């Protein structure tokens, strides 16, 4: 059974590389395009599997060809898809527009990616795992999964993503042991709805993009890492790769936890992801160690 369960969105991504983002009523040239699986939960699941972590995915796809392709790609990557629900309707499709600097604009529909609920995760799967990673999804589903995982003694991590501004995830955040945020999310939504980050009394990893990341520990200590300079190709999925690296490093169960190493590994994974097009990068421990040694 899986050691980590990832829950959240499973999408089919259409990536369009353009020479620039056009202004209103403007036009840009498409320089490249490709299609592949995406969605934060499935991105993290694939990265964890590549890092030799047994991983299962809880999410939902539609009955269309995109759903079949997404499931087949995940299974080929070694992800346990026994909890992946097939729902009536279309699989969520995201159109990722990437400019020459690797910055991304996302257009999409939700499709069937929130058609699953907490009851779709069996007790057997939950009891066999040691970590539950939650991503942007329906708030009640996320909260119920966090409750079940906490009761079963699992560590819970949560990356709410950009929807934190529009959804009330306070119940899930209150149960999370590890919270992943970017600068914008940390500076606005969390402080507006939950008070100061320093008062959350949990591990908070704040991503600064190309400038690295920092971690606030439950004891109120800060650990920071400057990241790794890379020639950015596409930032899609870099945050998901970061989360996967951090989780994989924490699974060592060192006491006390080595947040410094976890942050370095996470930044290395994010850097590797930013060097490749698409949401799924070629990540391995050999690649990570090479990045760490080069630094």
What are the residue numbers of the active site?
240
Q: Which two tokens stand for residue 252?
A: 């060592």
Q: Which two tokens stand for residue 82?
A: 């026994």
Report the distance separating Cα 216 and Cα 224, nearest Å. 9
Contact 3, 129 (CB under 8 A): yes
| Burial class of residue 45 (count of CB atoms within 10 Å of its CB; 0-12, 13-18, 19+) | buried
Q: Map residue 37 onto helix, strand or coil.
A: strand
151: left (phi > 0), else alpha (psi -120 to 50), else beta? alpha
Contact 24, 39 (CB under 8 A): no
Contact 49, 282 (CB under 8 A): no
Burial state string for 78-108 with b = 16 or more CB within 10 A and e = fewer than 16:
ebbbebbebbebbbbbbebbbbeebebeeeb
Residues 6+ apart with CB under 8 A from 213: 205, 206, 207, 224, 225, 227, 242, 263, 266, 267, 270
Report the distance separating Cα 87 and Cα 259, nearest Å. 39
């Amino acid at each position: 059974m899986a050691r980590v369960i990832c829950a959240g969105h499973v999408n089919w991504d259409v990536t369009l590389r353009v020479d620039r983002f056009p202004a209103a009523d403007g036009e840009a040239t498409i320089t490249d395009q490709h299609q592949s699986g995406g969605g934060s939960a499935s991105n993290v699941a694939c990265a964890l599997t590549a890092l030799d972590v047994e991983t299962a995915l809880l999410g939902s796809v539609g009955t269309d060809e995109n759903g079949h392709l997404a499931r087949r790609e995940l299974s080929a990557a070694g992800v346990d898809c026994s909890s992946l629900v097939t729902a009536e309707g279309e699989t969520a499709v995201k159109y990722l527009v990437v400019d020459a600097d690797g910055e991304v604009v996302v257009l999409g529909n939700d499709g069937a990616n929130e058609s699953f609920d907490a009851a779709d995760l069996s007790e057997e799967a939950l009891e066999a795992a040691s970590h539950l990673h939650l991503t942007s999804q329906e708030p009640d589903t996320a909260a119920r999964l966090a409750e079940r995982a906490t009761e079963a003694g699992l560590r819970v991590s949560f990356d709410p993503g950009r929807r934190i501004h529009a959804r009330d995830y306070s119940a899930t955040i209150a149960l999370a042991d590890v919270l992943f945020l970017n600068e914008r999310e940390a500076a606005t939504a969390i402080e507006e709805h939950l008070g100061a980050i320093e008062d959350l009394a949990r591990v908070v990893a704040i991503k600064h993009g190309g400038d690295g990341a920092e971690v606030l520990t439950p004891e109120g200590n800060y650990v920071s890492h400057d990241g790794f300079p890379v020639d950015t190709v596409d930032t899609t999925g870099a945050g998901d790769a970061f989360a996967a690296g951090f989780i994989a490093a924490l699974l060592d169960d060192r006491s006390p936890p080595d947040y410094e190493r976890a942050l370095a590994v996470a930044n290395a994974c994010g850097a590797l992801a930013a060097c490749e097009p698409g949401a799924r990068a070629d990540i391995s421990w050999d690649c990570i160690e090479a990045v760490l040694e080069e630094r």
